[in-house]
Chains A and B, each alone.
Chain A
């Protein structure tokens, strides 16, 4: 138990340490920075609420990635899927709300968003199933395409004519995802927590999940065992994209109510290392995502107060990934040595 805790925390500590050195080199005080980040993201009530709100779309994307990665599919298209789904919700909601009650609007928008995101994964899924084309490239291309497409849609056909800033029409605050109790946290977090736990259950305790794992572990064995690899691949892409799309819907319907042009928080890219760090384990993903959300919220504040721009978070993420891979490697080595 101790050992596995070390495997998890050592990369984090190392990343923070090396990151701190970079801050020093840039003339900033790392301790002050980290103290501020934790203080703002975790210890302050308003900051903590922001953290939880931020965690919602991250968790949904993460659950989509768990499914994909466990099935051996590198769905790097989550950002494109997320954005296009967000556009769909942002465009549809203000229109539907004029005729339908808010709960129905929300449900329909979520559904449409999921569908849009799924549709955006069809091409890479097809290319992989039919031609064995590496999905890293295809999904990445679809992401770039999706980001631009989302912008085009927001700036042109879906633009709110009454607004000077290019964005879609706005969903009024009372009609967005309901607040929990007395907080500013919206019910999207419930949806996302359910999603992560559901994904974990499916992957570890259902036939479908086991099939996906086998396809991911050894596609030839999967074929030998009689699994329909093509259909499972499509299903994986669809579910993974759908969850990312739900994340987009939740973010719009719960937080913004509208979508500005040139908005791309790139949550997908940032969540990928977290999923690896958690070794695709649902519960661990929740923990790491919350930690990361603290970092993001604190970091955004810090960029204004302390002059450390948000790009620093990207550097931390990369360091995290590298140290994680290193720790894995050393662990693998020590296990080899133990066997001998």
Chain B
């Protein structure tokens, strides 16, 4: 146990926490926006995966990380648009469609990957870093927090932005109404379906972005099924965050840390098998859910499609 509190271990853990946490954060924020508007977006795992694949392919061929991220976001949005079409516009069952989209994305990305890269398994080059001058030199936490790709900083700023948006803008109000009582929003003259559609598309973009980050920055390559439940953890984060983006950030950090334990433990010289460590985040989710279940809040109209004038 002696190796556990060393600088190297903590530094590695923090670094890994950020690497793994950012996709969770993006997924969680995206899911929160969807859920606030009343759409339970189960397909988020599929959106992340498509974003991961698309982001990797784009970044690999264009040799630009930013283009990769944008491509990932766009692909996530494409998948989300299917969700909008089937669930928001056609009012089909959100859960069935979400599962279908996830399964489809898993299969499609794995299929495409097989045909494109299974022989070569290419990797991304070194991740470009933006240093925050001065802060980067703080021992232990410096490299983890302040020597990262710019998207990391942007993601944290996004938390602030989304928080502000929820509380102080008309959009935030509309989202809240769409999820709480869509009939009231309709009577006020706002298009409920449009509001929800925008929310879901945004989720798709953020999820795709997160997936692209996982592939390009996290792993440096694409592997089939590589998201391994990150989207679903995002859903959990959104559920527990009770509508406040800050909680998503904290949750993402926590889960990111637990997922990053494998590498960190290896640094500490402890050789705990991967499978055991892989259990950790999910076990933690269950424990957190058991402890904080009574505090989770979901909008009343979640999962229910809106029909104007329904009896």
**Contact between chains at A152 and B229 (CB < 8 Å):** no
CA distance A311 to B298 in the complex (A): 35
**Contact between chains at B282 and A152 (CB < 8 Å):** no
CA distance A269 to B110 in the complex (A): 16
Contacts of B64 in A (CB 8 A): none
**Contact between chains at A325 and B110 (CB < 8 Å):** no
CA distance A312 to B275 in the complex (A): 27
Known: A134-B239, A145-B279. A315 touches B286 (CB 8 A): no
Closest A residue, CB atoms, query B87 = A325
**Contact between chains at A311 and B110 (CB < 8 Å):** yes
Known: A127-B289, A314-B110, A318-B104. A325 touches B232 (CB 8 A): no
Contacts of A229 in B (CB 8 A): none
Contacts of A127 in B (CB 8 A): 289-290, 293
**Contact between chains at B282 and A145 (CB < 8 Å):** yes
Contacts of B110 in A (CB 8 A): 309, 311, 314
- In the complex, B103 has a CB within 8 A of chain A: yes
**Contact between chains at B107 and A312 (CB < 8 Å):** yes
B90 smallest CB distance to A (angstroms)? 5
Per-residue contact bits, chain B 282-296, to A (CB 8 Å; 1 contact, 0 not): 110110011001101
CA distance A22 to B184 in the complex (A): 44
CA distance A331 to B266 in the complex (A): 57
How many chain A residues sit at the interface, stated as a range, is 35 or more
**Contact between chains at A145 and B296 (CB < 8 Å):** no
Contacts of A155 in B (CB 8 A): 273, 275
B303 smallest CB distance to A (angstroms)? 9
- In the complex, A2 has a CB within 8 A of chain B: no
- In the complex, B111 has a CB within 8 A of chain A: yes
Known: A131-B296, A269-B103, A311-B107. A322 touches B97 (CB 8 A): yes
- In the complex, B92 has a CB within 8 A of chain A: yes
B75 smallest CB distance to A (angstroms)? 16
Contacts of B101 in A (CB 8 A): 318
Interface-located stretch among A84-92, A135-143, A211-219: A135-143
Closest B residue, CB atoms, query A133 = B293
Contacts of A328 in B (CB 8 A): 92
Per-residue contact bits, chain A 131-173, to B (CB 8 Å; 1 contact, 0 not): 1011011101110110011011001100000000000000000
Known: A314-B106, A314-B107. A325 touches B93 (CB 8 A): yes
- In the complex, A74 has a CB within 8 A of chain B: yes
- In the complex, A210 has a CB within 8 A of chain B: no
- In the complex, A225 has a CB within 8 A of chain B: no
- In the complex, A34 has a CB within 8 A of chain B: no
- In the complex, B100 has a CB within 8 A of chain A: yes
CA distance A312 to B115 in the complex (A): 12
Contacts of B100 in A (CB 8 A): 273, 317-318, 321-322, 325
- In the complex, A123 has a CB within 8 A of chain B: yes
When the two chains form the complex, which single residue of A141, A156, A314, A326 contacts B286, counting CB atoms closer than 8 Å?
A141
Known: A309-B110, A315-B111, A322-B97. A141 touches B285 (CB 8 A): yes
**Contact between chains at B93 and A319 (CB < 8 Å):** no
B134 smallest CB distance to A (angstroms)? 41
Contacts of B279 in A (CB 8 A): 145, 148-149, 152
**Contact between chains at B286 and A318 (CB < 8 Å):** no
- In the complex, B114 has a CB within 8 A of chain A: yes
- In the complex, A340 has a CB within 8 A of chain B: no
Known: A137-B239, A148-B282, A325-B97. A315 touches B108 (CB 8 A): yes
Closest B residue, CB atoms, query A320 = B100
Closest A residue, CB atoms, query B236 = A137
**Contact between chains at B278 and A131 (CB < 8 Å):** no
Closest B residue, CB atoms, query A76 = B99
Per-residue contact bits, chain A 250-261, to B (CB 8 Å; 1 contact, 0 not): 000000000000
Contacts of A131 in B (CB 8 A): 293-294, 296
- Which residues of A, 277-324, contact B by the 8 Å Cβ criterion? 309, 311-319, 321-322
- In the complex, B96 has a CB within 8 A of chain A: yes
**Contact between chains at B232 and A141 (CB < 8 Å):** yes
- In the complex, B86 has a CB within 8 A of chain A: yes
CA distance A123 to B289 in the complex (A): 10
Contacts of B95 in A (CB 8 A): 74, 136
Contacts of A313 in B (CB 8 A): 107
Contacts of B96 in A (CB 8 A): 276, 321, 325
Contacts of B172 in A (CB 8 A): none
**Contact between chains at B232 and A272 (CB < 8 Å):** no
CA distance A321 to B293 in the complex (A): 32
B31 smallest CB distance to A (angstroms)? 11
CA distance A148 to B259 in the complex (A): 13
A182 smallest CB distance to B (angstroms)? 37
Contacts of B114 in A (CB 8 A): 309, 311
- In the complex, A130 has a CB within 8 A of chain B: yes
- In the complex, A201 has a CB within 8 A of chain B: no
**Contact between chains at A314 and B104 (CB < 8 Å):** yes
- In the complex, A98 has a CB within 8 A of chain B: no
* A interface, CB within 8 angstroms of B: 22, 26-27, 74, 76, 123, 127, 130-131, 133-134, 136-138, 140-142, 144-145, 148-149, 151-152, 155-156, 269, 272-273, 276, 309, 311-319, 321-322, 325-326, 328-329
* B interface, CB within 8 angstroms of A: 40, 42, 82, 86, 90-93, 95-97, 99-101, 103-108, 110-112, 114-115, 224, 228-229, 232, 235-236, 239, 273, 275-276, 278-279, 282-283, 285-286, 289-290, 293-294, 296, 298
Cross-chain pairs A/B with CB under 8 angstroms, 8 sampled: A141-B232, A145-B279, A148-B276, A148-B279, A272-B99, A311-B111, A322-B104, A325-B97
